Amino acid sequence: MNTIKQLFLFIISFVFIIVISELFIRNAKISEVSFAEYYDDIGKGLAKANTFVYFNEGFCITSTNVSRFIGKDVPREKRENTVRIALVGDSHVEALQVFERHHFGYLIEERLNKKFEKKNIKIEVLNFGRSSFNIGHMFAYQRLFIDKFNPDYVLYFISNADLNCDYSFPPLLPITTIEKDSLKTSINVKTKDLRVYQKTKFMTQKLAFANILNSCRRKFKKKETLPIIFGKFFQKSSSHIDSDTGNYEHDPITAKIINSLDSSTIIINRDNFKLPNKFKNLCLSKNLKYWELEPTFKLLEESGTIYNKWNVTNQLGHWNPKAHEAIGASISNQLIDLIETDYIDNKDL
């Protein structure tokens, strides 16, 4: 009888601690519930029309819309005299570390609308950034989802790691594969993965504590545990590929994606070092515009600002607000020249 009583008290105490922890996590905004939902057309995507608060490297309050991307919603059909720009990339573009008003896409839209206001041209910049995306995910996301919004320009923000179309983790994302020498876009759905997600999503979407545990699981799978535990004492091997070496070989899917993109696509190297020359030359041979952010980061560093350093949390990671501001200014200047050439000089609107 005494054993049953102790077991009962243990269960009650455990539940009480979980409830208190959940209330503390929610109210202190240490973590939010899951930011994701599964959809038949795009796989695992962003939750519809919700607001989230994040404390990570920085701090942000961000909102999704009913169309399932970050920022204000827009109708799929563009209004007259509108130029629509789609931003595609990974967590640097998604940017859950800064307020929306500090995001480089917001700043680009603000600058361009001010520039073209007298010419009666409306600019819309849409943030389709998604964490963990590589170029294979980005292309599939564009074909399955982004193209429905009829963007005039699609900006691919590419890092060295994005050139490898590895779909081993995370699951349930849109992917690009090659079948019979043609590109195929689909959702990386395995019955087991979908079944696990469907069984656990209630917990992760309702309980912040459960979402923390799920995030820990993802970091363990991505081998990020040791860097977090040991910090600066852990030397992580670099995935940087020197642009001047001959060691780089195209991922077959990456090469085929570049070959299939049209002139409305702009490839942007988001790294602070050059991507392989072989990749850059492939882009240029297909008449794709190829822009670099490296000069922008160097100017920041010369002024005493490290583009990915967060002083409050003493971390290196994603672009900080100063970097977003500089990126917004740099890309705005290049887009102004492009829009003036394509839509004003040629009067294509």
pLDDT of residue 40: 94
Pairing mode, strands 309-310 and 315-316 = antiparallel
146, 88 in Cβ contact below 8 A?
Answer: yes
End-to-end alpha-carbon separation of the chain, Å? 81
Q: What is the CATH number of domain 31-203+239-345?
A: 3.40.50.1110
Pairs from 196-202 (Cβ < 8 Å, separation ≥ 24):
197/38, 197/44, 197/171, 197/172, 198/38, 201/34, 201/37, 201/38
d(CA 123, CA 77): 14
Q: List, in sequence order, every beta strand (DSSP E) within 159-246.
A: 174-179, 182-187
> What is the full per-residue pLDDT of the chain (349 aa) written as tens digits?
678 877 777 788 877 777 776 666 666 555 666 678 999 999 999 999 988 888 889 888 899 999 999 999 999 999 999 999 999 999 999 999 999 999 999 999 999 999 999 999 999 999 999 999 999 999 999 999 999 999 999 999 999 999 999 999 899 999 999 999 999 999 999 888 888 877 777 666 566 655 566 666 666 665 656 555 555 444 554 445 555 556 889 999 999 999 999 999 999 999 999 999 999 999 999 999 999 999 999 999 999 999 999 988 888 999 999 999 999 999 999 999 999 998 776 655 5
Classified as helix, coil or strand, 262 is coil
Closest CA to 294 of 326, 322, 317: 326
Identify whether the C-beta of residue 94 lies closer than 8 Å to the C-beta of residue 127. Answer: yes
Q: In sequence order, what DSSP letters do the residues of 72-136 get, joined into one string?
A: S---SSPPTTEEEEEEE-SHHHH-TTS-GGGSHHHHHHHHHHHHHGGGT-EEEEEE---TT--HH
Reported pTM? 0.85
